[in-house]
């Protein structure tokens, strides 16, 4: 492992997980000149080999079944000495122990969302990263999406006026997970975007979850979080300190695929629709009271927002490498950002388990 990185020396990476998301991380890091892919770790040998062959790294990258194997094999000692960072695309239930071990060994970490399933664990990982002077970044890919970044700029410029309320729908058929419910799986995307746009985090919330497909908790999921099974449909209501209220609909088995989020202000609405030809649209217009006393819409216009083309995940990977190179925590998606999102998710689970009771996010403590 390098201690003082030469600007011309690639940062050496090991990726844990070669599944649906891991394969994209493997592809991206393989094609970034500033990185060198050292190892791919996944217990499914056939899947691991297939992905490595697909990306074109089968003959140049170490393949292992587990992090323990990579750390313990004597013939890999020289390889471990070269390693700078690990990237996790594994089930969330396994994140905590792996990240603790990696940080203690002196490796930087990029972790798929959510950081862990417990706010206290997340804060401990943040403290550990600071103690060992390592970078801990979270792969909240939407924060690197050009539409989300441009949306934040427009809101700061006053394009919609004062934000009043928001709405979001993230529904489709599959993939049905067995380690977390649909709310933990999906709502984190919308909350991360809203937090970024509003510059604040939810203060209180209410949520309900309906478990049609998995009414009993699978062995892969923590029963204390999901005692009523894994919800496949969820409705979450968020209230921010500024008074902005947001309603989010989530589902794993709705064939009407939607990936849409809107934030309404007193002068207009900003809509991020991933499935639209123009993903970001500004709908101008406001209600104005007429002399008659009636309210009428005025100043209406629809403006598709021009965006810079970029692959968000490639930006995540490059940002992580820059944080390591510059020895600076992420200003977009740090461990602390990930921890606060997990705190909100824990509050959501508490509300679901209390049949939709209102929960103060601050009640989730370390």
- Closest by alpha carbon to 261, among 269, 181, 253, 300? 269
Tell me which of 97 and 179 has the higher pLDDT.
97
Distance CA 250, CA 176 (A): 12
pLDDT digits (tens, 9 = 90+) for 128-156: 999 999 999 999 999 999 999 999 999 99
User: Is pLDDT above 50 for 2?
Assistant: no
N- to C-terminal Cα separation, the chain? 32
Express each pLDDT in 58-91 by its tens digit: 778 999 999 999 999 999 999 999 999 999 999 9
Compute the mean pLDDT over every residue in the chain, rounded to the nearest whole number.
95
Count other C-beta atoms under 10 Å from residue 3's C-beta: 6
How far is 74 from 18, CA to CA, in rounded Å? 24
What pLDDT, on a 0 to 100 scale, did the predictor assign at position 5? 64
What was the pLDDT predicted at 60?
83
Mean pLDDT over 199-228 rounds to 95
Contact 273, 260 (CB under 8 A): yes
Domains of the chain: 11-142+314-333 (3.40.50.720), 143-310+342-363 (3.30.360.10)
């Amino acid at each position: 492992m390098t201690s003082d990185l030469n600007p011309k020396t690639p940062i050496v990476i090991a990726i844990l997980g070669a599944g649906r998301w891991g394969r994209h991380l493997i592809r991206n890091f393989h094609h970034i000149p500033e990185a060198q892919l050292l190892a791919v770790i996944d217990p499914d040998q056939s899947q691991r080999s297939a992905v490595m062959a697909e990306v074109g790294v089968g003959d140049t990258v170490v393949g292992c079944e587990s992090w323990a194997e990579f750390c313990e094999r004597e013939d890999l000692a020289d390889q471990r000495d070269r390693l700078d960072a690990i990237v996790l695309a594994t089930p969330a239930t396994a994140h905590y122990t792996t990240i603790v071990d990696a940080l203690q060994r002196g490796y930087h970490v990029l972790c798929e969302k959510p950081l862990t399933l417990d706010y206290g664990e997340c804060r401990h990982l943040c403290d550990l990263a600071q103690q060992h002077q390592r970078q801990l970044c979270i792969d909240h890919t939407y924060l690197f999406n050009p539409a989300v970044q441009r949306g934040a700029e427009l809101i700061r410029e006053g394009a919609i006026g004062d934000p009043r309320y928001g709405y979001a729908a993230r529904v489709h058929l599959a993939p049905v997970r067995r380690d977390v419910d649909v709310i933990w799986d999906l709502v984190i995307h919308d909350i991360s975007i809203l937090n970024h746009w509003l510059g604040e985090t939810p203060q209180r919330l209410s949520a309900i979850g309906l478990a049609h497909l998995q009414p009993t908790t699978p062995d892969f999921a923590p029963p204390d979080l999901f005692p009523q099974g894994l919800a496949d449909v969820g409705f979450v209501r968020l209230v921010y300190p500024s008074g902005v209220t947001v309603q989010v609909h989530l589902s794993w088995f709705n064939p009407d695929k939607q990936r849409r989020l809107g934030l309404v202000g007193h002068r207009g609405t900003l809509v991020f629709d991933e499935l639209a030809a123009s993903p970001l649209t500004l709908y101008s217009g406001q209600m104005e009271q007429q002399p008659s006393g009636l309210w009428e819409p005025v100043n209406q216009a629809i403006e598709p927002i021009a965006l810079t083309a970029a692959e968000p995940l490639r930006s995540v990977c490059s940002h992580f490498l820059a944080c390591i190179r510059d020895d600076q925590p992420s200003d977009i998606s740090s461990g602390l950002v990930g921890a606060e999102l997990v705190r909100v998710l824990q509050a959501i689970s508490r509300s679901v388990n209390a049949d939709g009771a209102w929960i103060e996010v601050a009640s989730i403590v370390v």
